[in-house]
Amino acid sequence: MIIAAFLAQVINIYSWILIIYILMSWVPSVQDSSIGRLFARVCEPFLEPFRRIIPPIGGVIDLSPIIAFLILKLATRGIFYLAYLFG
């Protein structure tokens, strides 16, 4: 159960990083900073498969982060379910 809690916390931290990255996309000067590039290296590999499946609506509104958050939430639930089964 400790491992499940640790993994859930890692997913929670990653979710917050995604939120910050998404908010940074509204301010291009922040996105071009060194921290913005770091967040892009961490978040883009996870978001990119969702963007291939769900293209932006009207070329502007990107719904892929919503699906990404749903997947992260399902992963957290799956981790706790497996911990319950095997723990």
Domain boundaries, the chain: 11-86
- Name the residue among 36, 39, 38 with its Cα closest to residue 15: 39
pLDDT at 28: 84
Report whether pLDDT(41) > 80: yes
Confidence of residue 59 (pLDDT cuts 50, 70, 90): confident
Confidence of residue 19 (pLDDT cuts 50, 70, 90): very high
- The number of angstroms, rounded, from the C-alpha of 21 to the middle of its chain's C-alpha atoms is 9
pTM of the model: 0.87
